[in-house]
Amino acid sequence: MKKINYLHLRGLLPLFVVVGTTLLTQLNVNAQENRLTIDQLMKFETPSDIQVSPDGQWVAYVVERNDIEKDNVASQVWMTSIDGKTTLPLSSQYADASHPRWSPDGRKLAFIGLRGDPTKLKDAKPQVWLLDRRGGEAQAFTHIKQGVAGFAWSPDSQQMALLVKDPEREKKKDGDEDRPLPVVIDRLQFKEDGVGYLDRRRVHIYLFNGTGEPRQLTSGDYDDESPAWRPDSKAIAFVSKRQGDPDSNVNSDIWLVSTLAENAQAPLTQLTQNLGPDHSPAWSSDGQYLTYVTVTDIDKIWYATEHLALLSLQDSKVRVLSTDYDRSVFKPQFSADGKSIVFLAFDGGDQPLMRYELRSSKLSQLSASQVSIEEAKSDKQGNMLVLQSSHYSPLNIHLYRNGKIQQLTQLNSELLKNTSLGKVQRLSVKGFAGDVVESFVYTPPDYDASKPYPTLFYFHGGPVAQHSSAFNKMAQLYAANGYIAVLPNPHGSNGYGQAFSDILFAKWGISDFTDIDMIADQLVASGVSDEHKIGVGGWSYGGILTNYAITKSNRFAAAISGASEVNYRANYGHDIYQHTWEAELGLPWENAAAWEAISPFNDIGKITTPTLVIGGQADWNVPIINSEQLYQGLKRRGIPTQLVVYPGETHGISRPSFVRDRYQRFIDWYKLYMGE
């Protein structure tokens, strides 16, 4: 992968030097006219959950779009032929459909959905629906009162494994259906973002063949997920935390349950014994092996590398296959011929499609560099269907066949036609401890290398995540509005090895802010960035790093702190991360010094940067209490600030009118304090 020195940024678009002033002026005018707008972003369509038909001729998938009129997000199932020539909707635009799955015999397509206008289905629960490939309307397959959370076809197409949550308590009391009941809590983990308070209702696996009542396969005070049928249809592998109190550990294991018992729940077999998380099981075609993802260095919590593993069902032996590949992996599956395992990874700002050959132990990359692959599915011929994007192309389905790549879908192509996007280059700078730190640098469509630009640092969440080669709507919007957007991958980011990530353990802000400061120094020294017009911002951990940065430096002209934390001890018992807090910083009443040492709240008195504080009112991932405390401190000190709270929104803002509002507020805030 080619790296560039920061000085190369001064050499962007050298053609402008020789084409003459008149042409340069015209190009700048055209770029201004055709820049990306918020209106375009609101019309984006996003694909997900690709599924290849058994005959290999079609790929089904979900498309999400903003329904501006109803102010909600609509999801619909579509399918595209393998030659890319035919694309058809499979569900109504009002079906709120997701999770499409072909029956293994190819006769039907099932999906989860709500039929009818979602705005009129307030109390409806999602059910499994069936579409006969010969034609006709979708028919309801399940009628479960509490709804269906997920499902998987049996390999013989005769039944399904359903994921169903235990039913709610009866709310009717003394004949008054509207009288609320108290929330009674006795769990260690008692909140979940987007769900609310947690009771003892759990998600379990049921079997259903379309007649009678579903038969419950698993039970207990545990949640079960990721059901994967053994190829002979006689057993299901699944993921569950069943060791001790599942709220007090991260020890998920892969279990096996027989599907043959008639009237009683079958005994479970524990397949993995690792003390860390084991998840994402996938079978070999002969049913003799399971591949999955495992974490062995559990003391590193979320900074630990997630490895590729292989379990032999013949002798119960486990091999961790990717110990020499210091990158986290996800979504493994066996190749069609069973000779290799393909998977995705976080690798140096890319998300490549990788292959591990079982006989030779050879690891190779199947995808090109500078792309980000979100999903991959193999057909019976060994071809790969992937969801892929790049800096200049949003997510679409691509076919990898015989060493060639073909784009099958054209989502957003017409929308972006004739739109001038910002150019993107990689920037490498020596950061904390002399480690090389990468960033993606977006320049405006009419970028003029002879002058410095106002520059925005856009931090990713996590902290264990990465900015990637994927199409980034926020960065492109900043570039369209005349800013250089810098998307850094500082220490703590994944994709650069475990040591690069876990240096952040219990030391939030120290190494990653040093990286940011040194990147800014380089950009200013090279004449790329205007030292008086540097802004910072981000969401989630990106907001947390923003808070740290503005307490350590007054170089920033404006800041946006989105869904952030600032007073860490105030979060204990209020957010959803109690186990992680304890593992990283200890109990707050026993190890208060560690919590306070990295808490930006203690340095609010040092902030001089005008700061927009913003978040969701119902966010229990990073509760709004910290945003309120940050705002209160800034307001008390007379620092220019504003608090924006989106009613009913959780950690991810989804209501289209709020999404638009957030885009506009970000642009307006930076323009107010940094200019055009």
Indicate the pairing of strand 203-208 with strand 160-165. Answer: antiparallel
Report pLDDT digits (tens) over 368-404: 889 999 999 998 888 999 999 999 999 999 999 988 9
pLDDT at 569: 94
Angle at 523 between CA 518 and CA 525, to 5 degrees: 90
pLDDT at 3: 32
pLDDT at 270: 97
Q: How far apart are CA 669 and CA 661, in angstroms?
A: 12
Mean pLDDT by 10 residues, the chain (676 residues): 35 29 41 84 97 96 95 94 93 82 96 72 84 85 94 97 89 63 89 89 95 93 97 97 92 95 78 96 97 95 96 96 96 95 96 97 93 94 94 97 93 96 97 97 96 98 95 98 98 96 96 97 97 97 98 97 95 91 95 95 97 96 95 98 97 96 98 90
In the sheet that holds 307-312, the strands lie side by side as 278-283, 289-294, 307-312, 318-320
Domain 6-39+417-674 has CATH 3.40.50.1820: yes
On whether the CB atoms of residues 343 and 332 are closer than 8 A, the answer is yes
Q: How far apart are CA 642 and CA 65, in angstroms?
A: 30
State the amino acid at position 675 in one-letter form: G
Query: Would you kindly state where each structural domain of the chain is located, as residue ranges?
Result: 6-39+417-674
Beta-sheet strands, E only, within 134-266: 139-140, 150-153, 160-165, 191-192, 196-197, 203-208, 215-216, 224-229, 235-240, 253-258
pLDDT at 120: 60
Q: How far apart are CA 37 and CA 465, in angstroms?
A: 27
Report pLDDT digits (tens) over 599-615: 999 999 999 999 999 99
